[in-house]
Chain A
Amino acid sequence: MAPGDILVDVRGVAKHYGEGETRVDALRSVDLRVHVGEVIALLGPSGSGKTTLLNVIGCILAPTAGRVELDGDAVFDGKWLRSDLRRLRLDKIGFIFQAHNLLPFLTAEENVSVVLDLAGWPAERGRERARELLDYLEVGHRAKVKPALLSGGEAQRVAIARALANRPRIILADEPTAALDSGRAQLVMDLLRKLASDQKACIIAVTHDEKIFDRFDRLIHLRDGRLVDS
C-alpha cells in the first residue's frame, strides 16, 4: 500500500506509569501501522497494554516516548493543546464502547446527532444524517426510543451509528461484541468491515471474542506492553 494510505502510524511508542520501584511499563516501544480499509484486532491478556494503546491512539493518553501520526497529523509533538486533541477526536476518531455508553437522557437519534451538534452541524442536517445512519444500520424504526428501551443489539448499532456520525477515518472499538450473542456479533463485525471499506476508514478493536477473529484482517498480539507478532 502507498504511504498515503496509512491512517494510524505508531512508532516506538512507550508509556509508563510511576517511577522507581513503582514504575509500570504499560507499553514498550510499540510500532503499528494501520491502513485505509483495514480492520485489526488487538489481543492479549489483561494488563498487556491493549487499552493503553487504544487510549494513546484515541488521543486520550499521551505516550511517554515515541511518535503517533493519525491521518497525516503528528500528535503529541508538544504543539497540540488539549482542546486540539479534543477537536481531533471529534473530527477523525469514532469510539465504540463495550457497554455502548449511550447517553440515557437522549433518544437513539439524538445520541447520534449529538456528535454532529458538537461538531457544529446545523440541527436539521444533523438529524438527517442520524436518521440516515440509523436506517443504514437497520435501527431507524427505533430512532425516537431512549437507550433503556433498546435491546443490546439495537443499542450497539446505535453506538456504532454515533461513532460513524462525523465520518471519522479511525474507529476505535473496545470489546464491540462483548454484549452480543454470537449471531449478532458476526453481523456487527460484517457491518464494521463494510463501513471501513465504504468510508475509507480503519478499525482497531480490542477483543477477546474468538468467534469473530476470522473477521479481522490482522490480529495484533500484545504481551507485557510489547507487540508479540501480527
Chain B
Amino acid sequence: MNLAIKDIRHGLFRFVLTCLGLGLLMTVVLAMIGIYNGLVADALAVVKAPAADVWVVEAGTQGPFAEASSIPATTRDAVARMPGVAEAGAITYQTIEASHAGGTLRLYVIGFEPGRPGGPQRITEGRGLGRSHFELLADRKTGLVPGETIRLGRDRFTVVGLVEDAMNSGGDPAVYVTLADALTLQTAMDPAAARVQAARGDGGLRSPTVAAVVARLKPGADVALLTATVRQWKHLSALSQSEQEQLLLASVVDRARRQIGLFLGILLSVSAVVIALIIYTMTMEKLKQIATLKLIGAPDRTIVGLIVQQALILGISGLAIGLALILLVKDSFPRRVVLEPFNALVLTGIILMVCLVASGLGVRAALKVDPATALGG
C-alpha cells in the first residue's frame, strides 16, 4: 500500500494547486536558464554563421565583435592567395535603424560577398541574394517577409529570403546584404552632409574598408601557421574560429552572462527554500497521523518513504509543469530562449536533490514525533 499516493489522492486538489505554484516557479527558473543560453547562443550565432576557420582583422584589435576593426577590402585577395586557404570573403557589420510597419526596426546589417564565406549557412524561406544590389536576406525575427521592401540608408531593399537565429550579441536581428551595398550604407551620407564634406576638401575617394576577412582552409591546413603568417603583416591580425568565440564570450557577453547566472543561482536558492517549506508544512500537518502510524508499528522507513516520495512527486510534477509552460511560451520572449535537453536533465537532478534535502527537514520532524502523542492524555 503506497501511503504517499493515497495521501496525495485524498487531497488531490490542494496538491495540484501546490504543484501548479511550484510549476510557475520552475517556469521562471527554466526561463532564466533559457535566456542565459540564448544570450550565449545569440552572441555565438553571428560568429558561427560564416563557418570560417580564420578571422583576419585590423592589427592591435580584437575585432570585429569585441572591438571595431577596419582593414582594406583588398585584404581578401591577399588572404585567398595564401597557402592552405580554400576560400576567403570580406565581411562588414553595422547596426542601423530603419522604419518598418510604423515603427523603428533595429537591424544588424551584415555585408558579404555572395559565393564567398560570410553569408548565412541556411536560407529557410525564399532564395539567396541573386542581384548585386538592393536585395537582402532577413532574420525571421525582424518581422520582414519575402517580397517586402524596406529602406536602408538612402536605398530601398527587397527581402528575397529569410534566415533564422541570426543576430548580434545585443539581440538585434540580422539582415544580410551584398558587401557593395553594405559599404555604400557605411559611407553614403545625407546629401547636405556630403556637400559640407566636399566643401571642406574631402572628395570621398577613400579606398573601401571591411571589418574582417574570413577564410576557410583546405583540409589538413594548419590554422595556427596561417594565423601566425597573417600576423607577420604589421597591419593585420588573425584569430582562429575558437579564439574568436572565446573572445566574444569572455568580453562581450561576459558581464550579462554572469548577471543572469547569479540571478539564476538566487532563483534556484529561492526555489529550494520554497520546496523545503512546502514539504515541511505538508509533514507538520500529518504529525498526528505519523504518530498513529508509529504507534501501530510502522517502521521508520515507511514514515521516511511517505515524506520523501511526496517530496519527489511534488518536485517532478512542478518541474514537468514548468517545462510544459516554458515550451509553450518561449517563442513569445523578445529574445531567444534556448533550452537544451541537457538543461532539463541537470535541473531535474538539482530539483531531485533539493527535494531530498528539503524532505530531510520534514523527515527529521516526523522521526522525532513521539508515538505516545497519538494516545493523547
Which residues of A72-120 are within 8 A (CB) of B? 83, 86-87, 89-91, 95, 97-99, 101, 103-106, 110, 113-115, 117-119
A197 interfacial by beta-carbon distance below 8 Å: no
Task: Please report the C-alpha to C-alpha distance between residue A113 and residue B2 in the assembled complex, in whole angstroms.
Answer: 12
Task: Write the A31-73 contact mask toward B (1 if CB under 8 angstroms, else 0).
Answer: 0000000000000000000110011001011000000000000
B368 interfacial by beta-carbon distance below 8 Å: no
CB of A95 within 8 A of CB of B289, answer no
Task: Tell whether A60 pairs with B370 under 8 Å between CB atoms, given A55-B375, A86-B297.
Answer: yes
Q: Which residues of B contact A10 (CB under 8 A)?
A: none
CB of A105 within 8 A of CB of B6, answer yes
Task: Tell whether A101 pairs with B292 under 8 Å between CB atoms, given A87-B297, A118-B298.
Answer: yes
Q: Which residues of A contact B9 (CB under 8 A)?
A: 105
Task: Please report the C-alpha to C-alpha distance between residue A168 and residue B9 in the assembled complex, in whole angstroms.
Answer: 31
Task: Please report the C-alpha to C-alpha distance between residue A220 and residue B296 in the assembled complex, in whole angstroms.
Answer: 25
Q: Which residues of A contact B300 (CB under 8 A)?
A: 83
CB of A101 within 8 A of CB of B294, answer no
A15 interfacial by beta-carbon distance below 8 Å: no
Task: Write the B5-39 contact mask toward A (1 if CB under 8 angstroms, else 0).
Answer: 01101110000000000000000000000000000
Q: Which residues of A contact B370 (CB under 8 A)?
A: 60
CB of B376 within 8 A of CB of A118, answer no
Q: Which of A97, A104, A114 contacts B10 (CB 8 A)?
A: A104
CB of B302 within 8 A of CB of A89, answer no
Task: Write the B351-377 contact mask toward A (1 if CB under 8 angstroms, else 0).
Answer: 000000000000000000011101111
- Chain B's closest residue to A102 (CB) is B292
Q: Which residues of B contact A103 (CB under 8 A)?
A: 3, 289, 292-293
Interface centre among A50, A90, A118, A206 (most CB of B within 10 A): A118
Task: Tell whether A115 pairs with B376 under 8 Å between CB atoms, given A103-B289, A104-B289, A105-B11.
Answer: no
CB of B7 within 8 A of CB of A105, answer yes
Q: Which residues of B contact A162 (CB under 8 A)?
A: 296
Q: Give the Cβ gap from B337 to chain A, nearest Cβ, in Å.
A: 40
Task: Please report the C-alpha to C-alpha distance between residue A110 and residue B377 in the assembled complex, in whole angstroms.
Answer: 27
Q: Give the Cβ gap from A8 to chain B, nearest Cβ, in Å.
A: 17
Interface centre among B289, B294, B296, B372 (most CB of A within 10 A): B296
A228 interfacial by beta-carbon distance below 8 Å: no
B347 interfacial by beta-carbon distance below 8 Å: no
CB of B299 within 8 A of CB of A123, answer no
| A contact residues, total (Cβ < 8 Å) | 35
Q: Which residues of B contact A154 (CB under 8 A)?
A: none
CB of A206 within 8 A of CB of B377, answer yes
Q: Which residues of A contact B302 (CB under 8 A)?
A: 118
Interface centre among B10, B294, B297 (most CB of A within 10 A): B297
CB of B296 within 8 A of CB of A115, answer yes
B45 interfacial by beta-carbon distance below 8 Å: no
Q: Which residues of A contact B288 (CB under 8 A)?
A: 101
Task: Please report the C-alpha to C-alpha distance between residue A34 and residue B10 in the assembled complex, in whole angstroms.
Answer: 41
B1 interfacial by beta-carbon distance below 8 Å: yes
Q: Give the Cβ gap from A92 to chain B, nearest Cβ, in Å.
A: 10
Task: Please report the C-alpha to C-alpha distance between residue A48 and residue B137 in the assembled complex, in whole angstroms.
Answer: 92
Task: Please report the C-alpha to C-alpha distance between residue A50 and residue B377 in the assembled complex, in whole angstroms.
Answer: 9
A215 interfacial by beta-carbon distance below 8 Å: no
B66 interfacial by beta-carbon distance below 8 Å: no
B295 interfacial by beta-carbon distance below 8 Å: yes
Which residues of B46-87 are within 8 A (CB) of A? none
CB of A95 within 8 A of CB of B296, answer yes
CB of A174 within 8 A of CB of B10, answer no
Q: Which residues of B contact A218 (CB under 8 A)?
A: none
Q: Which residues of A contact B289 (CB under 8 A)?
A: 101, 103-104
Q: Which residues of A contact B377 (CB under 8 A)?
A: 50-51, 98, 174-175, 206
Task: Please report the C-alpha to C-alpha distance between residue A95 and residue B295 in the assembled complex, in whole angstroms.
Answer: 8
CB of B297 within 8 A of CB of A118, answer yes
A146 interfacial by beta-carbon distance below 8 Å: yes
Interface residues of B (CB under 8 A from A): 1, 3, 6-7, 9-11, 288-289, 292-300, 302, 370-372, 374-377
- Sample (10) of A-B pairs whose CB atoms are under 8 Å apart: A51-B372, A54-B375, A58-B375, A98-B376, A101-B288, A105-B10, A113-B1, A118-B296, A118-B302, A206-B377
What 4 pairs between A and B have smallest CB-CB spacing? A90-B297, A105-B10, A51-B377, A105-B7
Contacts A97-B375, A98-B377 aside, 7 further interface pairs with beta carbons under 8 A come to A51-B377, A58-B295, A60-B370, A105-B6, A105-B10, A114-B296, A118-B299
